[in-house]
Chain A
């Protein structure tokens, strides 16, 4: 029977990826001074599992790296060596190398052998360095250290051979074999020749000495002693044969890769196996190795096996009883099956394409449903009660279906957040800053498409906080702050949106610096601009205030790209900053990109959709509330506030039904930190609309973020509120 191991590869790859991720997060949370024993054990176990799996499935390169990693981790967890910062760094690097190897195996691409050799050498250096150095090093140990260095060098040279011999399956053994040359064993010389030929087939014979009574030789072979004895068993009694292994290592007594603490046929007889056992000589080797014997005697655990033997007589009955109760076995099996079903596979993997297609189809269904509802709106409800009821049910079902389908695409934001522990750690080291990262609300769910797209802007914001926000420790101390800075990443649902915040307790944005820099760049700024407007300047293309361009944040191509990326997923970035106390960047995103809750409004013969999240209220103004301000157009007075009035018909050049605001409706919208009043003909209703990209089907239109198909089949534009406010401002 041959077993195709490749069928387990995918599970193995997923498992390794999981182990690597948990190893990394555990390493990052380790407290160097007093590492938690449970955490160390968990890290060790992760490495150990990766090693076991890689060996089993034949990924020897990964097994080699994890072997060395595991060895070092084992000594750390046993408190044989103290954990150092360098070690954690090396462990993290080893994780990266393993991830690289994993990806290479997964994609079938070239394996980066250099990286793995490099990390192996690094880990070995650490192992040896730690070994040569006592845990508590005294300054007078200089001489010892010199010795250790020499030793280190010589040991490093011997490393490849040790590493090679570590997988027991590949062991090469040297046996010293002696056996009696008797007439009964070898009636003729051909018999002996045959035996030697067989031995030659499995290895290399050396120092062969044949006398009239005895034959002695040494054999170098990959085969186990068991196998050897099997060969000899055709010719000789076991007592006529001695095999000793001269190339003895730790693994030497289990070169077969397994062993029993008792002879298998005795175990079997205990179990009352009906099979007759095979010839005793072929099992002779399974008697435990000498070393174990003595060890066990010391441990006083030897008496146990006697007990087992005593039970031999009782056991057959036990076994017989087992078979007597078929009903019991049935229930047991059913229970096992149920348990397996409960604990087994409860998730499936499907391609994103399939899910997207499903989302799209449900979107179409929602449109069709809306069209039907629209068509039925002027049907007599008394005459067509069943139709109306059916449509109501269709409406509910469609909505539920849509929600379920959307939830398939939802993933926890921890997928993105988790990688920042590493980003913060690595960057803080580079910048010589002491920074901790706090993560809040990582279980908040977000559309998969958004998760992918939010990662880059978030990385940028976090790096910015690290680089420009958090001050160096001495500066922080001078300011009376905790030398350790904190960056907080949080995610939360707010209405139909998800709000992701990156905040730091650093210096905050510097108003003067930004304004000075903006003037230098020739931007139109003034000293009495609001903070809000000043902060917004940092989103302008090519703007960077960092005095020194650092390795971490790179050139000043930062914030404008962040803004553009977030705009592209219909998000908004808001900044709030207080000098000396820190800065918070909030990103407000829709839950999903495919569907939008909107208010449909009519202007002339056109219908527009305003995203509901931006609308604070709608009202019909009194004549006295509308004021004309020279140069700034009209404003409307709402509860003590004067809001700019934007007439949609003017902006989009449409012929409206009403031109007097007091006859139409004002929709108050909030965007870009500003409140404005949008003047429209009338409100039509609230809808969930399926967003269709205008850009891919037509071209980008200013003030419009997309389009949708209405219930009556008409196309309605979705208003880009932020852009609209900006447009009105410029006019």
Chain B
């Protein structure tokens, strides 16, 4: 069964690129434009989502807050969450890990890199 990925990014172009890449690799993709929408869609599709990809810098609710909120939900305690971020500083990683992220992927990335990482996590 196709695995489902929730992709959260406020940039439409990047979201479309991510979704297109993942869809062409056979994944089902749910898109959200910010943390608030991401959380709502995560809640609505809780049992289906196998992986969450989230941008850090977003209006309304940022990535870290989204990760923390998701980890607070019983269905998302163990779901892998990857942060897509332009920062790769240690401080960001510390924060990301503390929030409960599974890993990070530095922007800009190319689609192949994205698939490589996603495959490593959920196959």
- A residues contacting B by CB (< 8 A) are 1, 3, 5, 7-9, 11-12, 15, 42, 44-45, 48-49, 51-53, 55-57, 63, 167-169, 250-251, 253-254, 257-262, 264, 267-268, 270-271, 273, 275, 286, 288-289, 291-292, 295-296, 299, 301, 304, 308, 311, 315, 318, 321-323, 325, 328-329, 332-333, 335-336, 339-340, 343
Q: Contacts A268-B122, A332-B47 hold; do A304 and B100 have CB atoms under 8 A apart?
A: yes
Alpha-carbon gap, A295 to B80, bound state (A): 21
B contact residues around A268 at 8 Å (CB): 121-123
Interchain CB contact under 8 A, B47 and A56: no
CB < 8 Å neighbour of B41 from A264, A289, A301, A336: A336
Flag if B37 contacts A296 (CB, 8 Å).
Answer: no
Query: In the complex, which residues of chain A have a beta carbon less than 8 angstroms from the beta carbon of B41?
Result: 336, 339
A45 near B90: Cβ-Cβ < 8 Å: no
User: Which residue of B58, B59, B91, B108 is within 8 Å of A55 (Cβ)?
Assistant: B108
Whether B90 lies near A295 (C-beta < 8 A) is: yes
Interface of B is mostly: mixed
Q: Given the known A-B contacts A56-B107, A308-B78, A311-B78, are A335 and B98 also in contact in the complex, defined by CB atoms under 8 Å?
A: no
Contacting residues, chain B, for A315 (C-beta < 8 A): 78
| Count of A-B contacts judged by CB separation below 8 Å | 182
Contact A53 B96 (CB under 8 A): no
B10 near A49: Cβ-Cβ < 8 Å: yes
Residue-wise, chain B 95-123 has the 8 Å CB interface mask toward A (1 for contact) of 01110111111111111110101001111
CB-contact partner of B12 in A15, A335, A340, under 8 A = A15
What 5 new A-B contacts, CB under 8 Å, besides A254-B93, A288-B97?
A1-B24, A3-B111, A56-B17, A260-B104, A271-B78
List B41-61 residues whose CB lies under 8 Å from chain A.
41, 44-48, 50, 55, 57-59
Measured in the bound complex, the distance between the Cα atoms of B98 and A273 in whole Å is 25
Which residues of B sit under 8 angstroms from A325, Cβ to Cβ? Answer: 47
Q: Of all chain A residues, which has the CB nearest B84?
A: A52
Contact A257 B113 (CB under 8 A): yes
Given the interface pairs A168-B88, A292-B97, A299-B94, the reply to whether A5 lies near B104 with Cβ below 8 Å is no
What's the nearest-Cβ distance from chain A to residue B57, in Å?
5
Contact B102 A42 (CB under 8 A): no
Q: Does B11 contact A (CB under 8 A)?
A: yes
- The CA-CA distance from A261 to B81 in the complex, in Å, is 10
Nearest CB of chain A from residue B66's CB, rounded to whole Å: 15
- B69 within 8 Å of A by Cβ? no
With A301-B98, A318-B78: A168-B121 Cβ-Cβ less than 8 Å: no
Contact A45 B57 (CB under 8 A): yes
Determine how close the nearest CB of chain B comes to the CB of A297; give it in whole angstroms: 10
Query: Does A329 lie within 8 Å of B48, measured CB to CB?
Result: yes
Question: Closest CB of chain A to B60's CB: distance in Å?
Answer: 11
Determine how close the nearest CB of chain B comes to the CB of A579; give it in whole angstroms.
48
Residues in chain B near residue A304, CB distance under 8 A: 97-98, 100
Residues of chain A contacted by B97 (CB below 8 angstroms): 261, 288, 292, 296, 301, 304
Q: Are B44 and A262 in contact (CB under 8 A)?
A: no
CA distance A407 to B21 in the complex (A): 38
Q: Is the CB of A260 within 8 A of B103?
A: yes
Alpha-carbon distance A289/B97, docked complex (angstroms) = 12
Give the residue name and chain of the B residue nearest to A292 (CB): B93
Q: Given the known inter-chain contacts A271-B78, A273-B123, A333-B48, please indicate yes or no for A257 contacting B59, CB distance below 8 A.
A: no
- List 25 A-B residue pairs with CB atoms under 8 Å apart, sorted by A's residue number: A1-B112, A3-B17, A8-B13, A9-B13, A15-B11, A56-B109, A169-B108, A250-B88, A257-B88, A258-B106, A261-B101, A261-B103, A264-B120, A267-B80, A271-B80, A273-B122, A275-B123, A288-B97, A295-B93, A295-B94, A296-B98, A301-B94, A311-B77, A329-B47, A336-B30
Residues of A within 8 A of B12 (CB): 11, 15
Interface, chain B (partner A; CB < 8 A): 1, 10-14, 16-17, 20-21, 24-25, 28, 30-31, 33, 37, 41, 44-48, 50, 55, 57-59, 75, 77-78, 80, 82, 86, 88-91, 93-94, 96-98, 100-113, 115, 117, 120-123
Q: Is the interface of A mostly helix, strand, loop or mixed?
A: helix
Cα–Cα, bound, A566→B89 (Å): 57
Say yes or no: A258 contacts B11, CB within 8 Å.
no
Q: Within the assembled complex, what's the spacing in Å between the Cα atoms of A322 and B28?
A: 15
Contact: A52 with B111, CB < 8 Å?
A: no
Determine whether the beta carbon of A254 is less than 8 Å from that of B59. Answer: no
- In the bound complex, what is the Cα–Cα distance between A264 and B78 (angstroms)? 13
Q: Is the CB of A335 within 8 A of B45?
A: yes
Contacts of A44 in B (CB 8 A): 57
How far is the CB of B51 from the nearest CB of chain A, in Å?
A: 9
Task: State whether A42 touches B59 (Cβ < 8 A).
Answer: yes
Complex-state Cα separation, A415 to B94, whole angstroms: 44
User: When the two chains form their complex, are residues B47 and A322 in contact, meaning their CB atoms are under 8 A apart?
Assistant: yes
- The complex places the Cα of A168 from the Cα of B113 at a distance, in Å, of 13
Contacts of B91 on A, CB cut-off 8 Å? 295
Cβ–Cβ contact B45 & A343, under 8 A: no
CB neighbours of A253 from chain B (8 A): 90
Shortest Cβ-Cβ A-B pairs, 3 listed? A55-B108, A260-B103, A301-B98
B64 to chain A, nearest CB (A): 12
A262 touches B16 (CB 8 A): no
> Max chain B CB contacts within 10 Å: which of A1, A250, A261?
A261
Bound form: Cα–Cα A406–B31 in Å:
34
Contact pick for A250, options B24, B89, B108, B113, CB 8 Å: B89
Could you tell me if A257 and B77 are in contact, using CB atoms closer than 8 angstroms? no
Alpha-carbon distance A5/B102, docked complex (angstroms)? 27
A301–B77 alpha-carbon span in the complex (Å) = 15
* Residues of A contacting B25 in the complex (Cβ-Cβ under 8 angstroms): 1
Give the residue of B14, B96, B120 whose beta carbon is less than 8 angstroms from that of A52.
Answer: B14
Docked Cα-Cα span, A53 to B16, in Å, equals 11
Shortest Cβ gap from A10 to chain B (Å): 9
Contacts of B122 in A (CB 8 A): 268, 271, 273
CA distance A301 to B68 in the complex (A): 12
A274 CB, min distance to chain B CBs, angstroms: 8
Contacts of A295 in B (CB 8 A): 90-91, 93-94
Residues of B with C-beta under 8 A to A49: 10-11, 57
A291 touches B121 (CB 8 A): no
Complex Cα distance, B64 from A301, in Å, reads 14
Docked complex Cα distance between A318 and B50 (Å): 12
Expressed in whole angstroms, the Cα–Cα distance for A258 and B28 within the complex equals 22
Q: Which residues of A contact B48 (CB under 8 A)?
A: 322, 329, 332-333, 336
A53 touches B109 (CB 8 A): no
Instruction: Note all chain B residues with C-beta closer than 8 A to A5.
Output: 17, 111
**Which residue of the partner chain B has the closest CB to A13?**
B13
Q: Which residues of A contact B50 (CB under 8 A)?
A: 271
Nearest chain A CB to B113 CB, angstrom units: 6
**List of B residues within 8 angstroms of A343 by Cβ:** 33, 37
> Considering the chains assembled together, what is the distance between the CA atoms of A264 and B106 in angstroms?
17
